[in-house]
Amino acid sequence: MGRVAVIGGGASGMMAAITAARLGEEVTVYEKNDRVGKKILATGNGKCNFSNRDFGEQHYYGNREKLKGFFSRFSVEDTMDFFMKAGMLVKDKGGYLYPWPEQASAVLDILRIEMRRSGVGTELCAQVEEVGAAGGEERGFLVKCSDGKKEKYDTVILACGGCAAPKTGSDGSGFALAGKLGHHIVPVVPALVQLRCQDSFLKITAGVRCWARIGLYEEKKGNMGRLLQEEEGELQFTDYGISGIPVFQLSRQAAYLLEEGKRAAASIDLLPQMDGKEFEEMCMRRMENASGRTLEEFLVGLANKKINQMMIKEAGHKPGDEAGRLGEKKLGELLRSYKELRVHIYAANSFENAQVTAGGVDLDEVTQELESRKIPGIFFAGEMLDVDGRCGGYNLQWAWTSGYVAGLGAARHCRQRGMEPGKRNRGQRE
């Protein structure tokens, strides 16, 4: 039996702890909050979309070839099997997987129960400040906390989380620990987050939701450059920018553009259901019926009333202007603006608003066991690593997979080293 420390009691940390403990290791979880799993309660608007049947490496950013290997060892089916064997029924909503009662607390309770049943100890309100070699002829690692406590372990799993939602404990301190151990940290930025835009017309449309297609571009000298990414879904306008699932999916790439000092812009198609021919036919029909209508009347039924008002104003007209007097050219320009509304992005919203962190420990610096190539015996899991996924349960699936792989690796490390059992430090119990 070896002694394993897991730094961080989030989704990946709990899975890592359960996995190692089930293999006979003595495991202690260090959590800075007064309880484990705080962030899980906020996932999926409290419903916890914990995985997705529509699975593949294409839903992730990072080294996809390596990711394929990790997910082959602990898949969506393995995640479902874990929770169902522990007593949780699963609800499949179009491939999106939830606990049957659609309560995130069900997922957390299952994890806490399995930690207790596996004999995992917990140290709560514990801020780990340093992880280092035991020193001298001693093998293993010392875990040092801010209150001065030190404890020796045979192996350590860093599952501290990233920077997203810092109120839940993800304050980026794990990256500092990894940096002290000699690891390169890929720059971290907010992901799955709203985007801030400098366009004043957004004040008019604030609060409006609509289906749209959004393309992200790197803006160069006022011109839209190459299309970098395109998403479709329900867009939400805010008084500071744009939000909604398609925006979240674009936000990682937008955040990195801005981090590199480049300019980001988006083109919004407010009528994505129409291809070019259908749209042109619609424009012709409208212009044929423009006579006797104000511009406000001319646009009725095309989009939300606030969007129509904003489009009229941006085109330099007034709602009461007679549509028939503008002529086909100006009316055509007004209508075509619905297919290419441009917004200029100057920032991603902060980590306080982000669902996940992009960036982290470079995957090239860990093995297929998620063990450090620099310091054997140190393992990583979850958002500590440079892996992040799209909305839809993919980031929690990475937490389960990486937690399992790291927990398994830590247990193997202990057995291979022939570790003798140490004095059990159960710490504080939940």
CA–CA dist 92, 100 (Å, integer): 9
Proportion of the chain above pLDDT 70, given as a percent: 97
The dihedral of CA 344, 346, 350, 356: what is its sign?
Answer: positive
99-103-105 Cα angle (round to 5): 100
Whether 383 contacts 219, CB under 8 Å: no
Domains identified in the chain and CATH numbers: 3-189+358-417 (3.50.50.60), 195-348 (no CATH)
Give the pLDDT of residue 222. Answer: 73
The dihedral of CA 193, 196, 201, 203: what is its sign?
Answer: positive
Q: Binning pLDDT at 50, 70 and 90, where does residue 62 land?
A: confident
User: Mean pLDDT, to the nearest integer, of 61-65?
Assistant: 91
Proportion of the chain above pLDDT 90, given as a percent: 90
Q: What is the mean pLDDT of the chain?
A: 94
Q: Look-up: residue for tokens 């990475």?
A: 398
On the 0-12 / 13-18 / 19+ scale of CB atoms within 10 A, 87 is: exposed
CA–CA dist 41, 248 (Å, integer): 20
Rg (CA), the chain: 26
CA–CA dist 239, 205 (Å, integer): 7
- The HSE-up count of residue 116 (CA atoms within 13 Å, CB side) is 11
- Tell me the pLDDT tens digit for each residue of 364-410: 999 999 999 999 999 999 999 999 999 999 999 999 999 999 999 99
Give a three-class secondary structure readout of 176-242: HHHHHCCCCEEEEEEECCCEEECCCCHHHHCCCEEEEEEEEEEEECCEEEEEEEEEEEEEEECCCEE
Give the pLDDT of residue 424. Answer: 38
CA–CA dist 40, 382 (Å, integer): 13
- Tell me the pLDDT tens digit for each residue of 127-173: 999 999 887 667 899 999 999 999 999 999 999 999 999 988 889 99
